[in-house]
Amino acid sequence: MITPADEFPVHQAPLPIAWPTTSDRNFYDRSYMCAHDRSGEIFVVIGVGYYPILGVKDAFVLVHRKDGDGARHTVVRLSDAMDDDRLHQHVGPLAVDVVEPLAELRVTLAPTEGIAADLTWKGLFDVVQEQRHLMRQGSRVTLDAQRFAQVGSWAGKLVVDDEEIAVDPSTWIGTRDRSWGIRPVGEPEPAGRPADPPFEGMWWLYVPMAFDDFAMVLIIQEDPSGFRTLNDCTRVWSDGRVEQLGWPRVQIHYRSGTRLPTGATISATDSDGRPVTIEVDASAATPLHVGGGYGGDPDWGHGQWKGEGFVERVTYDLADPAVAGRIPYGVIDHVGHAVCREADGTQREGWGMFEHASFGLHRPSGFNDWGDVAP
């Protein structure tokens, strides 16, 4: 199957670009993008995914907003059959145009179920190539992914039910990542033999931030004992220097009686071994597994066949008990505000995303049971 992408010298195997080198049904290639201002009043998530073995592509635009003392979010979800054109990413009325690779994107959504967008992303710093992410359940690979991440600014407009929201690059910021490889997608597979040992929980932290003269991307995953299965903390300076920030120690600040974070203290070291401390405040908690299709979302799963030209819009009241009960058991994105202090006393202010998940056991946090919460 020869496609337009085969015109370019980008091949990595003696196969057409349209054919992955693996026949694993869970092969995926997708983008995550978020946009927010600095008020904590609004958080927008955009996702686009291609699943070549399943023959499916899908996308969503999720708008999370405060609603009195609570919050609600509304999401447009799109799905279609994959075609041969990977150079022009589009799912129905949503399109992602790569204006300048690794630097500038344009995302458009024609009016769809009351939501429309015309947004331009510009990277503020170079992309960060994250460490390869590998997870197994017994002998089976459940995740084998490569990602790059970037922090940047957004410009343009967003329309929700006739309300036009101006997106000003002086205040709107966000994170994007591109990832590809193996992860569970599509319709559920037969369970087979129960996992041994059984799944006991997940602890995850992802903090991409933009400061005046550098970007930081932190990604950590730990097992229930606190053993770190993924540790990557990198900052990229505006002059192109790339610096590893060692093995950060993290104290999550949880709201009493919950596992919902209000922020964190991150203690790292620079390339000379001197302390770097980042204090982060988190607001606008946006659960990706409520309508966005991530980890255990019962309403929408990435890569599932919905039929050609599928479009739907769903709105969630996050205070509804039927929804609120789901929120603690997945990955939650927040608007993050940070202060970074260097050993010489230099202090910088930053903005970006604070993404966290903690469910099940995590003994370093004092969570020894699925029902344990912060005191």
Predicted confidence band at 348 (pLDDT cuts at 50, 70, 90)?
Answer: very high
Helix, coil or strand: residue 84 = coil
Phi (first) and psi of residue 69, to 5 degrees:
-85, -5
Q: Which of 35-39, 81-85, 138-142 has the highest mean pLDDT?
A: 35-39
**Average of per-residue pLDDT across 283-303:** 94
Q: For the purposes of burial, counting CB atoms within 10 Å of the CB of 373, is it exposed (0-12), middle (13-18) or buried (19 or more)?
A: middle
Burial 48-87 (b: 16+ CB within 10 A, else e): bbbbbbbebbbbbbbbbbeeeeebbbbbbbbbbebeeebe
Question: In this predicted structure, what is the pLDDT of residue 226?
Answer: 97
Confidence of residue 371 (pLDDT cuts 50, 70, 90): very high
Q: What percentage of the chain reaches a pLDDT higher than 70?
A: 100
* CA–CA distances in Å: residue 194 to residues 14, 133, 185: 38, 23, 19
What is the spatial distance between Cα 37 and Cα 35, in angstroms, rounded to a whole number? 7
- Tokens 């049971």 belong to which residue? 369
Give the model's pLDDT for residue 176.
97
pLDDT digits (tens, 9 = 90+) for 195-228: 777 889 999 999 999 999 999 999 999 999 999 9
What is the per-residue pLDDT across 105-129, written as a single tens digit (0 to 9) for each? 999 999 999 999 999 999 999 999 9
Give pLDDT tens digits for 20-63. 999 999 999 999 999 999 999 999 999 999 999 999 999 999 99
What confidence tier does 293 reach under pLDDT thresholds 50, 70, 90? very high
**Nearest residue to 248 via CA among 232, 267, 223:** 267
User: Averaged over 238-259, what is the pLDDT?
Assistant: 96
Give the Cα separation of 282 and 40 in Å (integer).
8
**Rounded to an integer, what distance in angstroms lies between the CA atom of residue 250 and that of residue 228?**
12
- What is the C-alpha separation between 184 and 177, in angstroms, rounded? 18
Query: What value does the mean pLDDT take over residues 274-300?
Result: 95
Q: Residue 199: what pLDDT?
A: 87
Confidence tier at 86 by pLDDT (50, 70, 90) = confident
- Alpha carbon 306 to chain centroid, angstroms: 23
> Looking at 3-17, 28-42, 155-169, 294-308, which range is the least confident one?
3-17
Q: What is the mean pLDDT of residues 343-353?
A: 97
DSSP 7: G
pLDDT at 374 over 90: yes
**Which of 260, 252, 255 lies closest to 327 in space, CA to CA?**
260
Hey, what CATH topology would domain 4-186+199-365 get?
A: AttH-like fold (2.40.370)
Task: Dump the DSSP string for 302-313.
Answer: TT----TTEEEE
What is the DSSP annotation of 201-239?
A: EEEEEEEEEE-SSEEEEEEEEE-TT--EEEEEEEEEETT
Report field, pTM of the whole predicted structure over 0.75: yes
Average confidence score pLDDT of the chain: 95
Is residue 117 within 8 A of residue 165, CB to CB? The reply is: no
Pairing of strands 133-137, 163-167: unpaired
Select the more confidently predicted residue: 114 or 67.
114
**Which pLDDT band holds residue 167 (cuts at 50, 70, 90)?**
very high
139: Cβ contacts below 8 Å, ≥ 6 apart: none
Has residue 1 got a pLDDT over 90? no
Pairwise CA distance, residues 251 & 171, whole Å: 28
Domain ranges of the chain: 4-186+199-365
